């Protein structure tokens, strides 16, 4: 990608956040598709679209990167999304989303440990408030409630938060790797997910609505968003983007409510408010 100023890179990172707000809703619309089949198809769409752009710009040679860069890319894309889509199949999407969206707070906390940074009491307080938001959701009464039968799905969602936060912060340490390489990471993720699907799942023939949702995922939240986020993490204001990412669960949950996937309860609003407040305080 062309060199961009920190402000422009930060704005592009905000674009990724906007796209991710649609992730939970679109994933819910793919009900019935096995998680790794879903991962393979959506990353195939996103990777091919990215590859076409990279090829058109004559930058295919940039897909050749060190093993460490590929390992980090696959850790963030393949591991995170394999776990996320699995969690979405094992537990209600609204609850999974709010557990998974602890990652913005973790980005703020982990970014404080980058060279030249430090961990202050505000970061710790912000973290406690973020977890208080999850607790408010867990014990709240209304349209959303935590049930023991979905414990595995909740646990996987929480693991995804750590995976994505680690990937995002470590991307800063690999700023020399061009964003064009993300196209290769997406395609490699699609291949690995496809192999995992063939080995562990029974394939399902998607219907028209499912294909539409997967196309939307592949071009947006599981496609363009990764390129935008890579630019933001490598050249933008990482702490600001970590805080701003807390708009994602709020927007995502609002979309879920509007789509009839979750109820607009006070516990839901309180959880979102506490998580967002925690991120703001952690930013100070």
Q: Report yes or no: 203 and 35 within 8 Å, Cβ to Cβ.
A: no
Q: Both tokens of residue 61?
A: 């040679």
Q: Cα(79)–Cα(39) distance, rounded to whole angstroms? A: 10
Residue-wise pLDDT tens digits, 85-118: 888 888 887 778 778 878 888 888 888 777 665 6
Write phi, then psi, for 80 (nearest 5 degrees).
Answer: -60, -50
Dihedral of CA atoms 234, 237, 240, 245 in degrees, nearest 10, equals -30
Q: DSSP state, 232?
A: H
Helix (H, G, I), strand (E, B) or coil at 246: coil
Q: Where are the alpha helices (DSSP H) in 118-236?
A: 121-139, 151-173, 182-200, 208-219, 225-235
Q: Both tokens of residue 236?
A: 């933008």
The pTM for the full model equals 0.83
Residue-wise pLDDT tens digits, 151-191: 999 999 999 999 999 999 999 888 889 999 999 999 999 99
């Amino acid at each position: 990608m062309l060199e961009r100023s920190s402000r422009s890179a930060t704005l592009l990172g905000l674009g990724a956040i906007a796209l991710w707000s649609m992730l939970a809703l679109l994933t819910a619309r793919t009900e019935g598709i096995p998680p790794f089949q879903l991962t393979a198809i959506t990353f195939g769409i996103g990777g091919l679209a990215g590859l076409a752009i990279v090829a058109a710009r004559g930058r295919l040679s940039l897909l050749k990167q060190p093993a460490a860069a590929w390992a980090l890319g696959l850790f963030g894309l393949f591991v995170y999304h394999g776990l996320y889509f699995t969690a979405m199949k094992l537990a209600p999407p609204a609850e999974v989303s709010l557990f998974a969206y602890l990652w913005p707070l973790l980005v703020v906390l982990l970014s404080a440990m980058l060279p030249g940074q430090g961990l202050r009491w505000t970061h710790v307080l912000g973290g406690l408030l973020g977890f208080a938001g999850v607790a408010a959701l867990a014990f709240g009464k209304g349209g959303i409630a935590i049930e023991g039968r979905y414990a595995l799905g909740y646990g996987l969602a929480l693991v995804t938060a750590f995976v994505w936060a680690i990937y995002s912060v470590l991307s800063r340490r690999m700023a020399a790797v061009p964003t064009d390489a993300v196209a290769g990471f997406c395609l490699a993720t699609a291949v690995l997910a496809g192999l995992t699907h063939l080995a562990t799942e029974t394939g399902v023939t998607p219907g028209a609505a499912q294909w539409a949702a997967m196309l939307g995922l592949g071009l947006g939240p599981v496609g363009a968003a990764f390129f935008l986020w890579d630019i933001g993490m490598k050249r933008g204001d990482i702490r600001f983007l970590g805080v701003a990412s807390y708009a994602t669960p709020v927007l995502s949950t609002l979309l879920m409510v509007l789509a009839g996937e979750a109820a607009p309860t006070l516990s839901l609003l309180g959880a979102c408010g506490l998580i967002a407040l925690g991120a703001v305080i952690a930013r100070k």
